[in-house]
Amino acid sequence: MLVSIAFQRCFEDGMNKNVAEILARIQQLEEDLEAELQRRRHALQADFENRRVHFEQAVLAQQRRFKTGFWRYVAEAELRHLACIPFIYGLIVPMLLLDLALTVYQWLCFPLFRIQKVRRSECWVYDRAHLAYLNALEKLNCAYCSYGNGLAAYFTEIASRTEQYWCPIKHARRLLHAHDRYAYFVDYGDAENFRLELQNLREKLQATQDKQDIGLGKGSTDSPVEPGNDSGSK
């Protein structure tokens, strides 16, 4: 979520009232959107249990009617798509190296900053394998895309916590995709309040207790954990 409830509560006291109201409206819209998406999932008879998706047998049978077989899928592949395969899957090596580097970085540095490590389980979601209308190759492609986008989320969350700790200053220009914490950073050019707000933002970051507070979970009820002792990290 762009604005998590707990994270907003940490900062709203010292924030410009108009900004706080706008962020509150954004949060409400996101909650409305999630409610609508949940309604759609129920309409498709998709049940969630222990991170697994279960469909009714009638729904699975209907999905299989739209499945394209593996060999037919390969035979009908366009040449322009086949030409991209080495470049798409060739990225797996740098992605794995980036994943390793990020993990080592946060495991070494975040305890020194006294901030909570990012939980990998909240960044990666692999649920498309349960869709009966996808063949094996399509499921592999979906898993690969899920890994790439999960890695991007992992990178963004680690980088945003680092930025909040060291340089929480807004830019003079508008960002295309600002991370969740950016709205709470110090205004560009506000030299008078920077040092005070820097310390405040560090304290708020260090006080973060669970994944709902960090904007990764939606409606999580996990019990709090101490910063730097996240047993869910890998």
Percentages helix, strand, coil for the chain, rounded to the nearest 5? 60, 5, 35
* Residues of the chain under the 50 pLDDT cut: 1-9, 12, 50, 209-234
Find how far residue 78's CA is from the centre of its chain. 32
- Supply the pLDDT for residue 229: 38
Give the three-state DSSP class for 57. helix
Considering the entire predicted model, what is its pTM?
0.67
The Cα 218–Cα 147 span in angstroms is 20
pLDDT at 219: 38
According to the model, what pLDDT value does residue 149 have?
A: 96
Is residue 9 within 8 A of residue 220, CB to CB? The reply is: no
Q: Rg of the Cα trace of the chain? A: 21
pLDDT in tens, 129-166: 878 889 999 999 999 999 999 999 999 999 999 999 99
Q: Give the C-alpha distances (Å, rounded to integers) separating 93 from 82, 98, 109, 140.
A: 20, 9, 24, 17
| Residue pLDDT, tens place only, 105-131 | 999 999 999 999 999 988 998 888 878
Residue 186 phi/psi, 5-degree rounding, is: -75, 140
Of all helices (H) and strands (E), which one includes residue 55? strand 52-55
pLDDT at 232: 39
Task: Count the neighbouring beta carbons within 10 Å of the beta carbon of residue 98.
Answer: 15
Q: What is the 3-state secondary structure (H, E, C) of 137-203?
A: HHHHHHHHHHHHHHHHHHHHHHHHHHHHHHCCECCCCCCCCCCCCHHHCECCCCHHHHHHHHHHHHH
What is d(CA 99, CA 211) in angstroms, rounded to the nearest whole number?
20
